[in-house]
Structure formats: C-alpha cells, structure tokens
Amino acid sequence: MASNTTSRRETFDIGGDLTVNRLGFGAMRITGEEIIGTPGDEGEAKEVLRRAVDLGVDFVDTADSYGPGVSERLIGEALGDPDGVVVASKAGLLRNREGDWLPHGDPDFLKNQVLCSLDRLGTTTIDLYQYHRPDPDTDFEKSVHAFAEMKDAGQIAHVGLSNVTVEQLETAMEIVDIATVQNRYNVGHRDDEDVLRACERNDVGFIPWGPMYAVDGDEIPEALGEVANRRDATARQVALAWLLDHSDVTLPIPGTSSVDHLESNLAAADLSLTDEDLAALDAVDSQK
C-alpha cells in the first residue's frame, strides 16, 4: 500500500494579525562576503528581493548587523514599505572588521538601533523586531523591556527573540507579547526541539535559521539524498519541505544572492513528502 502524503498549513499569523506564507526569504546573504560590506552587484541583490516578492514571498527577514546596515538599506531601496509584505529585522549584535558577532543588549544601544533600522527600511513602524542574541553582560529582562518600550512607542508592531532558551522565552513573555523565536534548527540539528515545542504551545512562530545547513557540507545525509531522488528534488528542497511538515509554526527563511537559487528554494513549498519520507528524515538527527 502506498504511503500517504502529508498536508500542511500554508500560512501563519505572526502575532495573531500578520498572515504570511510560511516559506519566506532571509536577506543575510545579499551583502558582501562574510556578511560585511556591500555585495558585488547591488542591482542583482535588489532583483533577488523583487523576484522573491513576485513569486509570492511576503515575509522577509533581515538584521541591522547584516552588512552592517547594508541588508536593511537594500530592502528599503528595493521594496520600500510594501503593503502585504512583512519585513522583520533584528538588533543586539555588533560587528567589527574581523567579522565577529558581538552580543550587545544595552537598552540604550537597542533603542538607538531601531531608529537606524527604521531609517534604512524607509518605514515608520517595523513589522517584527527581534532581539538577536541575549547578551551575557546585560540583564536579559532589561533588554526585553527595551523592545517592549519600542512597541509602546509605535516603532515596532511585534517583538521577537532569537537564540533563546525556553526559560528565556517564558521570561520574555511575562514582559511583552512575543510573536516569534528564531533559533538554529534543521533536519540535522535539533538541539532546540524544546524551544520549538514551547512555541507550538504558545502559538509563537518559530523561524529556523540555518534551515539548510544539514546539506551545506561535503556529505549529504543519506536519507536526504534518497528522499530527494525519489521526489525528483534537490536535497535543499527536501530539507525545507521537512521543516514545513515538521510543525505548523515553523517559518523557514532560506537565503541566497541568486535568483536561480531563490526560485529553486521556493519550489520546496510545493514539494509533497510521504509518511515514509518523513519517517526517514525524522531519523536523521539521531544518526549523527
């Protein structure tokens, strides 16, 4: 008997009122090498953004640290403040010339960064603004309170978190409504399964960063390769389709600087996986 194909929810309501297609676009890689400086061709980077929207992407994720500032600026110039497209950004990481990502959760710094993000994105209110990473040198609650104050001021519509534990999520939810969590997660890296389940319980969107890292190395996990061959798809498409099937609150945001790769990634939304496929993929993490 043939195995059944799965059904998945196609959209998610961020914060209860921003309905988006669940497969979005991550705008980290439209910058220069090592996510520093400008891309080699800014026109091409803007074309990727416009093409994503043309293909139905209505959720674009970026951060003030991508460039830094470059990704936000390009989004503002390419898309403006578009109706029907949710643009999310993040604050809380400093960059240096060596390319380090340095946590900086000082409330005054965060409040300054949102002003910069608003200007670069060309908007008066950012749809979703996320605390990029907890700072061990700053009280977590004080940092979250800064985001709550931005929301109260109308600078941001919804607050998100990134790289947090379940305990930090629960602490933040006592301060302000949390719309999303963005943690590293993919078919081959599921250390934050408990965070995903906490998001499900609270109807919080879960944005898995590095959604295709399991297939970015030299060796593709055997199960991914086998499913890709059966479905006449790429391993990356299978990895994205698994994320969409794994939970109704996942919002994968694959990123690229290429229109061709963009179109290939977005095709994952139409990829149907069977129960047999999912069982094989579910077992990948335990085989590491």
pLDDT in tens, 147-189: 999 999 999 999 999 999 999 999 999 999 999 999 999 998 8
Residue 108, classed as helix, strand or coil, is helix
Q: How confident is the model at residue 286 (pLDDT cuts 50, 70, 90)?
A: low
- Is residue 216 predicted with pLDDT exceeding 60? no
Q: What spatial distance separates the first Cα and last Cα of the chain, rounded to whole Å?
A: 31
Sketch out the chain's domains with CATH numbers.
11-216+248-255 (3.20.20.100)
- Is residue 1 predicted with pLDDT exceeding 50? no
- Is residue 3 predicted with pLDDT exceeding 50? no
Whether 66 is a known active-site residue: answer: yes
Residue 9: predicted pLDDT: 80
Q: How confident is the model at residue 14 (pLDDT cuts 50, 70, 90)?
A: very high
What is the tens place of the pLDDT at every residue in 122-142?
Answer: 999 999 999 999 999 999 999
Between helix 193-202 and helix 166-173 the angle, nearest 10°, is 30
Mean pLDDT of 87-115: 96
Q: Which two tokens stand for residue 66?
A: 């991508």
Q: Which of 66, 129, 131, 185 is catalytic?
A: 66
pTM assigned to the model: 0.94
Q: How confident is the model at residue 4 (pLDDT cuts 50, 70, 90)?
A: low
- Is residue 211 predicted with pLDDT exceeding 80? yes
CA dihedral for 63, 68, 72, 75, sign (positive or negative): negative
Q: How confident is the model at residue 86 (pLDDT cuts 50, 70, 90)?
A: very high
What are the angstrom distances between the C-alpha of 268 and each of 24, 57, 186, 195?
A: 11, 13, 14, 24
CA dihedral for 215, 221, 227, 231, sign (positive or negative): positive
- Is residue 119 predicted with pLDDT exceeding 60? yes
Mean pLDDT of 60-76: 97
